[in-house]
Structure 1
Amino acid sequence: MIYGIGTDIVEIDRIKKIKSHDTFANKILGSEELQEYKKLKGELKISFLGKHFAAKEAFVKALGTGFIEPVFPKGIQVISSNNGKPKYSLSNSIKSHIDSLGISRAHVSIADERNHLIAFAVLEI
């Protein structure tokens, strides 16, 4: 059964206009994501930030809360599975929170087209 769905769209030009991509990355990315981000260059860094931000926004929209304790951007990591499919990796505090709500699974899909990135999240009971 579906607990919630969320979607977010990001305009790449808005990410490009951020004064310090590295500062933004440090605010929103978890440790595993930061390791991947630091390996990238130029436009790939911008795309990475946009995709991960959209996926985190989609998650909190599916949850119906926005970013409020205990749900913060760094605690919602988007990592690649062995086949390249994105998946959520959640902090212990977020896992405990969603467990208390009866949520058992979280899914994410990310797509990009020219100047836009979109993420779609589904939370299951």
Structure 2
Amino acid sequence: MDAFVKNKAIAGIGTDILYLNHIQKVYSRFGERFPRRILGEQELEKFFSRSSRDFQRGLRFLATRFAAKEAFSKAIGLGMHMPMYWSGMQVLNAPSGKPIVVLSEPLKSWYEERFGVAHVSLTDEADIVMAFVIVESKSA
């Protein structure tokens, strides 16, 4: 067995799936207040950039990030209760394109005391988006 795999344990798993039209309805009702409440600073920049070129593409971005935050909150066992908060967890992209979890304080310190690496996977189809998160145990 590979040493990398041998020393890892799963501390939490979370998933979320939602219909894109649900996010569309919330956005239609609240406008820009909705993404400003949900997205972190870097996510918000990407959302506005994508939306300016193609609104549906921006909406998919917003929906996948919403799902990722829900899945992450389930994986760490908090739900949306402090120190977990919407904009405190961002899903950004590594140079390779791989989605990565980036945390802000106070969530970052709380998380680092308890857990190791968080892995996130996102997908979207015509009318559905989904996120899956695996949180590793903290290394010994």
In the superposition, the TM-score normalised over structure 2's length comes to 0.85
Query: How many aligned residue pairs are there?
Result: 124
1:113 — aligned with what?
Answer: 125
Q: Secondary structure at the match of 1:61?
A: helix
Contact residue 57 and residue 66 of structure 1 kept, 8 A: yes
Matched, 1:72 2:85: yes
Larger Rg: 2
**In structure 2, distance between residues paired with 1:100 and 1:115:** 38
2:35 — aligned with what?
Answer: 25
Deviation at 1:104, TM superposition (A): 1.2
**In structure 1, distance between residues paired with 2:70 and 2:47:** 18
> For the aligned residues, what is the CA RMSD?
1.0
Deviation at 1:45, TM superposition (A): 1.4
Structure 1 runs (4+) deviating above 4 angstroms are none
Which 5+ residue runs of structure 1 have no aligned equivalent?
none
1:37 — aligned with what?
Answer: 47
Letter in 2 for 1:99: E
2:12 — aligned with what?
Answer: 4
Contact residue 25 and residue 49 of structure 1 kept, 8 A: yes
Deviation at 1:60, TM superposition (A): 0.4
Deviation at 1:98, TM superposition (A): 1.4
Which 5+ residue runs of structure 2 have no aligned equivalent?
1-8
Matched, 1:57 2:76: no
